[in-house]
């Protein structure tokens, strides 16, 4: 295995999807004299989730940040929110779409007058224009709206960053952070260690500030989100960072065993084997996304012997809206998105052999703690995108990213635009680290390369399958009970002891082992935090604790205590926020 590549930069951004590119662009714009470098495990501008979804982005439109926050607190977050960050996010939503438009060279869809074409979630189809475009009644209760972005926009954003002078290192996966002891302020992050995914060559990066924008943990179950492996979360944990809201994951969508793509709106038309609609009675009037209560009902129906459950798509009232957003010619002009969704729908849904549906684990475990400036608890370390959605605590008592469509790109752009200038300001103030602990670099290499020296016969994908057996069951991860969670945690601990049995024959398999280690750590953090929240609050549902705790809203914080996962409580300071229950 090759060793020895060294690169010094002022700001190092780990991850080349939209959050990382937004951080890199805004860091460079904040201080053009700083050297900004993006290191990406695959290829910047093509990686991550930003160009694999619906390509819709949430904006406020004509609504105010206060309207958005108050609605969200009451109906979705249930006041388990960091209102400071929530309001900051809302105030930057419209300018976020404008930033994407600028960076991508005009990839946000516009109407004939040149204004962004917007469509509110769950609007009702009422007719068609002369040119065949759909007309919707947008009189819905949600104080936000959505714009549509052409799905090839990421390439143009990368080009924009290059023109600014941002440097790129592709096909190098960062596996650990480096820290140094400052004279008075304690340790701070001063770089990272990565390896070429093809050759195994070591890369050591020194930096005054590091932005982690490398995604969350999705446990590789649902295919669209399988790129999220949680390696950045594990690296931050080993470095000593703080985490929050580990228990408010993972997220589920309805899917089919025939294709594993999402069925949005299934809860409106979910029938048990007796022919009873068991979803519709549980849907609340304000319904911005998938219902956790209906997912729980699926579990109860199956346990009662009333399964399998069936989805009657023709009864889903959201279908005209969904097909208009995704099959974009109905409303939006996005030729690339048309082809993408056309191929996806044909390849997926044409394979369906029946109407049976199950909950599919999406994951979205994203607990890296950040403040309103996207600074983590470690000096010199910032974060953006999916890695810190839950850790921002902005969203409250919901699975991330907050149960409202279009928030993925919106939060990634927002957090990148905040993290970039924050990291640039820190880098300019403190300067580059004056020392590098080579012993740390050696320890990282030893840990990462250990499977290459192992005689173990277990392969990484065999371990992945075993972890998925623990995380996928809805009775473990959404409709929770102490007995089931303790059994799941015990299995996670058992699998951790088997990690040394995994061998690796090439760099790709080495990364596979590193991903398995991250998956197990994230699973442990999830179950330990879930066991400590002894209540039902929003998306967090306990069979054995069906009511909210009388002590009021609190966050659970996870920290690394001498290598172990430690959980503690932190009261939500409602008295410091503008909006009260």
Residue 222 falls inside a structural domain: yes
3-state DSSP call for residue 502? strand
Q: Residues 580, 373, 171, 457: is their CA dihedral positive or negative?
A: negative
Alpha helices in 132-278 (DSSP H): 153-164, 231-239
Give a yes or no: residue 512 inside a domain.
no
- C-alpha 296/C-alpha 102 separation (Å) is 43
Domain membership flag for residue 60: yes
Q: What is the pLDDT along the chain (581 residues), one digit of tens a residue?
A: 455 789 999 999 999 999 999 999 999 999 999 999 999 999 999 999 888 888 999 999 999 999 999 999 999 999 999 999 999 999 999 999 999 999 999 999 999 999 999 999 889 999 998 888 889 999 999 999 999 999 999 999 999 999 999 999 999 999 999 998 765 667 899 999 999 999 999 999 999 999 999 999 999 999 888 889 999 999 999 999 999 999 998 899 999 998 888 888 999 999 999 999 999 999 987 877 889 999 999 999 999 999 999 999 999 998 888 877 766 678 888 998 888 888 877 777 777 899 999 999 999 999 999 999 999 999 999 999 999 999 999 999 998 666 788 999 999 999 999 999 999 999 999 987 766 678 899 999 999 999 988 877 899 999 999 999 999 999 999 999 999 999 999 999 999 999 999 999 999 999 999 999 999 999 999 999 999 999 999 999 999 999 999 999 999 999 999 999 999 999 999 999 999 98
- Locate 410 and state its tokens: 């919106």
The pTM is what?
Answer: 0.97
Q: By the 8 A CB rule, do 266 and 311 touch?
A: yes
Residue 527 falls inside a structural domain: no
Write out the E strands in 149-250: 167-170, 172-182, 186-196, 202-212, 243-244
Taking alpha carbons only, the member of 574, 561, 490, 527 closest to residue 237 is 561
Residue 85 lies inside a defined structural domain of this protein:
yes
In a domain, 263, yes or no: no
Residue 481: closest CA among 473, 308, 245, 564: 473
The domain that holds 213 is classified in CATH as 3.50.50.60
Tally of domains within the chain: 1
Cα 247 from Cα 263, distance rounded (Å): 25
Residue 387's domain comprises 5-107+150-249+363-430
322 within some domain: no
Residue 478 in any domain: the answer is no
C-alpha to C-alpha distance for 228 and 387, rounded to whole angstroms: 9
- What torsion, rounded to 10 degrees, do the Cα atoms 222, 225, 226, 231 define? -140
Q: What is d(CA 204, CA 193) in angstroms, rounded to the nearest whole number? A: 5
3-state secondary structure of 309: strand
């Amino acid at each position: 295995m090759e060793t020895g590549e060294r690169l010094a930069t002022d700001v190092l951004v780990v991850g080349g999807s939209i959050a990382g590119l937004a951080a890199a662009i805004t860091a460079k714009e904040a201080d053009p004299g700083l050297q900004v470098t993006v290191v990406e495990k695959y290829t910047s501008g093509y990686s991550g989730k930003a160009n694999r979804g619906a390509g819709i982005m949430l904006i406020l439109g004509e609504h105010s940040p206060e309207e958005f926050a108050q609605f969200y607190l009451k109906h979705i977050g249930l006041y388990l929110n960091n209102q400071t960050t929530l309001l900051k996010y809302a105030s930057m939503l419209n300018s976020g779409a404008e930033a994407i438009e600028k960076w991508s060279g005009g990839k946000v869809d516009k109407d004939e007058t040149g204004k962004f074409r917007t469509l509110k979630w769950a609007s009702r189809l009422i007719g068609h224009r002369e040119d065949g475009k759909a007309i919707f009644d947008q009189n819905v209760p949600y104080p936000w709206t959505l714009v549509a972005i052409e799905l090839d926009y990421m390439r143009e954003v990368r080009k924009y960053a290059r023109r600014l002078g941002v440097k790129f290192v592709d096909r190098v996966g960062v596996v650990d952070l480096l820290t140094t002891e400052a004279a008075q302020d304690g340790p701070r992050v001063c770089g990272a260690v990565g390896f070429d995914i093809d050759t195994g060559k070591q890369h050591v990066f020194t930096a005054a500030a590091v932005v982690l924008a490398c995604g969350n943990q999705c446990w590789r179950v649902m295919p669209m989100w399988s790129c999220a492996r949680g390696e950045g979360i594990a690296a931050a944990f080993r470095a000593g960072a703080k985490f929050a809201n580990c228990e408010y994951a993972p997220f589920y969508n309805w899917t089919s065993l025939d294709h594993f793509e999402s069925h949005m709106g299934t809860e409106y038309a979910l029938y048990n084997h007796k022919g009873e609609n068991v979803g519709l009675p549980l849907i609340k009037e304000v319904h911005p996304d998938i219902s956790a209560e209906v997912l729980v009902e699926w579990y109860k129906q199956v346990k009662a012997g009333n399964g399998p459950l069936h989805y009657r798509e023709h009864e889903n009232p959201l279908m005209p809206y969904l097909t208009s957003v995704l099959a974009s010619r109905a409303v939006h002009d996005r030729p690339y998105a048309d082809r993408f969704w056309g191929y996806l729908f044909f390849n997926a849904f044409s394979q369906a052999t029946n109407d049976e549906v199950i909950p599919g684990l999406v994951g979205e475990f994203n607990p890296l703690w950040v403040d309103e400036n996207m600074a983590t608890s470690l000096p010199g370390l910032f974060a953006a995108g999916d890695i810190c959605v839950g850790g921002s605590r902005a969203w409250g008592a919901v699975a991330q990213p907050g149960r409202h469509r279009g928030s993925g790109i919106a939060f990634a752009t927002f957090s990148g635009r905040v993290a970039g200038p924050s990291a640039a300001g820190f880098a300019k103030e403190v300067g580059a680290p004056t020392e590098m602990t080579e012993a740390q670099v050696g320890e990282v290499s030893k840990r990462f390369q250990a499977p290459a020296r192992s005689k173990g016969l277990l392969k990484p994908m065999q371990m992945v399958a075993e972890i998925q057996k623990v995380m996928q069951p809805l009775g473990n991860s959404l409709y929770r009970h102490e007995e089931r969670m303790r059994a799941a945690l015990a299995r996670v601990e058992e699998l951790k002891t088997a990690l040394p049995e995994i061998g690796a024959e090439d760099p790709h398999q080495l990364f596979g082992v590193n991903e398995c280690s991250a998956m197990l750590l994230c699973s442990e953090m999830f179950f330990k935090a879930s066991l400590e929240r002894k209540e039902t609050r929003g998306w967090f549902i306990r069979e054995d604790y069906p009511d909210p705790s009388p002590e009021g809203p609190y966050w659970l914080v996870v920290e690394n205590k001498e290598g172990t996962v430690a959980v503690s409580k932190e009261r939500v300071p409602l008295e410091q926020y503008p909006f009260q229950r």
